[in-house]
Chain A
Amino acid sequence: MLGLNRKDGGLLIIVAVLVALAPIFLNPFPEQSGLAQFNAGYPDLMQRFVIFGIFAIGFNILFGLTGYLSFGHAAFLGAGSYAGVWMLKLLTVNVIPAIIISTAVAGAFALVIGFISLRRSGIYFSILTLAFAQMSFALAASVLTPITGGETGLQTALDDPRILDGINTSGNIPAPSIFGLQMSDSFQINIGGWLWTFNVGYYLAAVVMLSAFYIAIRIFRSPFGIMLRAIKSNQQRLNYTGLNTKPYMLACFVISGMYAGLAGGLMVSMDPLAGAERMQWTASGEVVLMTILGGVGTLIGPVLGAGLIKYFENIFSKINDNLLHEWFAFLPDGAEDFVVSIIYPFVGKGWHLTLGLIFMAVIIFLPGGLVELGQKIASVFKKKNSELTNTTKTKASE
């Protein structure tokens, strides 16, 4: 199916279905219920799921396949987002040019940075990407301010040229749209107490993400993909087998950068604002985390990781003091205060602390991420299954 084998095709279909129906099952709690705040089915958040999914998929193509750890990918996302906003300002609020150009610009940026950084490998490579990330951030924040808007960032304005659209000098700033449909348009279904929102922007991003995911699967299974894995396994042997690893690495780096740029372009298509802080190396850290949490080097891992992290970021940030007291009100006062005070540092603004701890735990105990966890659980079941069949077999032979 579409050139994929059965397992991969099945995976793609499952992901497609999940993504298509996400507005429904991400909002399992009726609107008026107490648990409604744990609903995740609103446009903003759902868009973030798939956009960061694209970012993580691209990062995984580099880190997962070749083992090269780059801290610079946030710079590509940032470059893509700036390019995207410029398209929205210069050409049209139709997001298609923004998406295409952001991918291309990020790819070009990655070509330059990759060409220099890949002259070294291992930790030197990582530090080079770190240096480039910080440089990009500094350039965006202080030096290239005409292009980037400096610390305030870059936004669309009423008097933007928008060459392909008509001139617009009154009313609101036109919102990003695709052939007339605004990104922020949604239609809602209200059944029983449940409210489901189907948003244009989300579905656009979801379609892009599924395409990006499909391409990633093809890459993984291609000769190119095998060569990349060979680079990670034994780069020296690959060289002595007649393959020049440099163009492979560069191509991989550029492809990975393009994914990041695509994510950046989609981001500003939903909300036309590009800022410099997106380019800092610590922002790159976030995508590293997603990829590793989900399962580095696997197909579904980065998507899982991105979704989970964004979801929990949303949830945890909402839990505050009052809520905790509500939940634990059933405990006697002393115990209630005690429990709340223990949990409090880890929620709300303490989300980053929790994230850091989860990250460390994953690296220490489960470097293969959730996918590894899933495989372990599955093998426990398989073992139990075969133990059962073994006992039945021996019984039969008696």
Chain B
Amino acid sequence: MDQIILQILNGLDKGSAYALIALGLTLIFGTLGVVNFAHGALFMLGAFCAVTFSRILSLSHVVVDETQKDFLGNPLKVDVPYIYDWFGESTGQAIINWSVPLAILFAIPVMIIIGVVMERGLIKHFYKRPHADQILVTFGLAIVLQEIIKYYFGANQIPNPAPEAFIGSFDFGAAIGLKAGTIIYPYWRIVYFCFAMLLIGSVFAFLQFTTFGMVVRAGMADRETVELLGINIDKRFTIMFGVAAAVAGLAGVMYTPINPPNYHMGMDFLVISFVVVVVGGMGSLPGAVAAGLLLGILESFASMRQVIEALPGINQVVIYLAAIVILLARPRGLMGREGVMEE
């Protein structure tokens, strides 16, 4: 039983990442009708926003510290981050410690700008073009973005740790009355899951409760009619793309402590995200979220020691197997709307 709970928990954080990326993909596909193979790259860019932010925070200058000596006996040259100068040492340290969550503030405008530029510069020219062309050009863009990041940040992973307060694990088992030490779960993953749910909730609330959101939902259902009503759907779609980019980016920012960012993480997550979207049902936002979480948990169960012993390598392929089965049995996906992409 505790194993089951542990695996469910295990699957939730990766599943949340899948859900967030799939959410953005579905938004873009549902509103703009565009298949965006560069979406994984947005996730990656978000992660590198966090890296960049923490590097900015760590920008330092050299100060000669008379009170300390280096091994030659000369006064020690110390790197002092500018932050320390501005905010004082203890606050400065705290800020650097919390760089990942603080990166959110940095990432939101950056990702929105990137999203808007992408949409206005490239995507909007592909609305009327066949899906194959959209896939190909966004695939090319994903490669370009990936290579640019590789050029500036190198090919290796860049560790980006969570704030100290969240390092370490939470004894989940004890909290629900089981023996201590049976279910231990890292704090930051809990934070990530809650953050993801918050983000997803905000997106849904935005779509449900604002006029803007209502127009977007109407546009998702019937773009032509909305345009005929004289509403400039173009601008709203641009903003929507920016929002979707920001969601993917934020998912990436907060994921950095869990998985140190590297240049090809976008592609790694992209394939699974598409599989998630299709399983959830193309065009269904709740479907994307539900499928993301479910597939994350499924992957986690498939990684259990007992399962791998019985079926080696199953954890790598289980998501694809699930997708294949679902696509064949229920092409609409779990919650897809009828008529989306059906022949």
**What is A's interface to B at a CB cutoff of 8 Å?**
63, 67, 69, 116, 119-124, 126-128, 130-132, 134-135, 138-139, 141-143, 235, 281-282, 285, 288, 292, 345, 350, 352-353, 355-357, 359-360, 363-364, 367
Are B320 and A356 in contact, with the CB atoms below 8 A?
Answer: no
Does any Cβ of A come within 8 Å of B275's Cβ?
yes
**13 A-B contacts (beta carbon < 8 Å):** A69-B135, A131-B271, A131-B324, A132-B324, A135-B317, A138-B313, A143-B317, A288-B136, A355-B143, A357-B140, A359-B139, A363-B133, A363-B140
Q: Which of A127, A134, A282 is the one whose CB lies under 8 Å from B278? A: A127
Q: Name the B residues within 8 Å of A355 (CB-CB).
A: 143
Does any Cβ of A come within 8 Å of B171's Cβ?
no
Given contacts A116-B324, A127-B274, A350-B147, contact A122 B341 (CB under 8 A): yes
Q: Name the A residues within 8 Å of B135 (CB-CB).
A: 69, 123, 126
A123 to B336, CA, bound (A): 15
Given contacts A127-B275, A352-B147, A353-B147, contact A363 B137 (CB under 8 A): yes
Does any Cβ of A come within 8 Å of B316's Cβ?
yes
Are A123 and B312 in contact, with the CB atoms below 8 A?
Answer: no
Are A356 and B143 in contact, with the CB atoms below 8 A?
Answer: yes
Smallest Cβ-Cβ distance to A123: which chain B residue:
B131
Are A356 and B144 in contact, with the CB atoms below 8 A?
Answer: yes
Q: Name the A residues within 8 Å of B343 (CB-CB).
A: 121-122, 235
Q: Name the B residues within 8 Å of A363 (CB-CB).
A: 133, 136-137, 140
Q: Name the B residues within 8 Å of A282 (CB-CB).
A: 267
Are B144 and A357 in contact, with the CB atoms below 8 A?
Answer: yes
- How far is the CB of A183 from the nearest CB of chain B, in Å? 33
From B122, B130, B324, B341, residue with most partner A Cβ within 10 Å:
B324
Are A131 and B140 in contact, with the CB atoms below 8 A?
Answer: no
Are B312 and A143 in contact, with the CB atoms below 8 A?
Answer: yes
Known: A120-B331, A132-B324, A143-B312. 9 other contacts (CB 8 A): A67-B130, A122-B343, A123-B341, A124-B278, A131-B271, A134-B271, A352-B143, A363-B136, A363-B137
Q: Name the B residues within 8 Å of A138 (CB-CB).
A: 313, 316-317, 320
Are A359 and B143 in contact, with the CB atoms below 8 A?
Answer: yes
Q: Name the B residues within 8 Å of A360 (CB-CB).
A: 137, 140-141, 144
Q: Name the B residues within 8 Å of A359 (CB-CB).
A: 136, 139-140, 143
- How far is the CB of B309 from the nearest CB of chain A, in Å? 13
Interface residues of B in 293-331 (CB under 8 A from A): 312-314, 316-317, 320-321, 323-324, 327-328, 331
Smallest Cβ-Cβ distance to B311: which chain A residue:
A143
Q: Mark B15-27, 1 if CB is under 8 A from A, else 0.
A: 0000000000000
Are A128 and B271 in contact, with the CB atoms below 8 A?
Answer: no
Q: Name the A residues within 8 Å of B267 (CB-CB).
A: 282
Q: Name the A residues within 8 Å of B131 (CB-CB).
A: 122-123
**What is B's interface to A at a CB cutoff of 8 Å?**
35, 122, 125, 130-133, 135-137, 139-141, 143-144, 147-148, 151, 267, 271, 274-275, 278, 282, 312-314, 316-317, 320-321, 323-324, 327-328, 331, 341, 343
A142 to B317, CA, bound (A): 10
Q: Name the A residues within 8 Å of B35 (CB-CB).
A: 123
From B133, B144, B321, residue with most partner A Cβ within 10 Å:
B144
- How far is the CB of A118 from the nearest CB of chain B, in Å? 11
Question: DSSP majority for the B interface?
Answer: helix
- How far is the CB of B122 from the nearest CB of chain A, in Å? 8
Q: Name the A residues within 8 Å of B282 (CB-CB).
A: 123
Q: Which of B143, B147, B148, B320 is the one whose CB lies under 8 Å from A135? A: B320
Q: Name the B residues within 8 Å of A130 (CB-CB).
A: 271, 274-275
A282 to B130, CA, bound (A): 21
Identify the 4 closest CB pairs spanning chains A and B, nearest first.
Answer: A143-B313, A356-B143, A138-B316, A353-B147
Q: Which of B136, B275, B321 is the one whose CB lies under 8 Å from A292? A: B136
Are A119 and B328 in contact, with the CB atoms below 8 A?
Answer: yes
A186 to B139, CA, bound (A): 40
A356 to B137, CA, bound (A): 9
Q: Name the A residues within 8 Å of B151 (CB-CB).
A: 345, 350, 353
A95 to B137, CA, bound (A): 39
Smallest Cβ-Cβ distance to B35: which chain A residue:
A123
Are A367 and B133 in contact, with the CB atoms below 8 A?
Answer: yes
From A124, A142, A292, A363, residue with most partner B Cβ within 10 Å:
A363
Are B316 and A356 in contact, with the CB atoms below 8 A?
Answer: no
A291 to B193, CA, bound (A): 43
A292 to B140, CA, bound (A): 12
Given contacts A139-B317, A350-B147, contact A364 B324 (CB under 8 A): no
A355 to B320, CA, bound (A): 29
Q: Name the A residues within 8 Å of B323 (CB-CB).
A: 127-128, 131
Given contacts A120-B331, A139-B317, A143-B317, contact A356 B147 (CB under 8 A): yes
A390 to B321, CA, bound (A): 65
Q: Name the B residues within 8 Å of A235 (CB-CB).
A: 343
Smallest Cβ-Cβ distance to A138: which chain B residue:
B316
Are B143 and A128 in contact, with the CB atoms below 8 A?
Answer: no
Are A131 and B275 in contact, with the CB atoms below 8 A?
Answer: yes
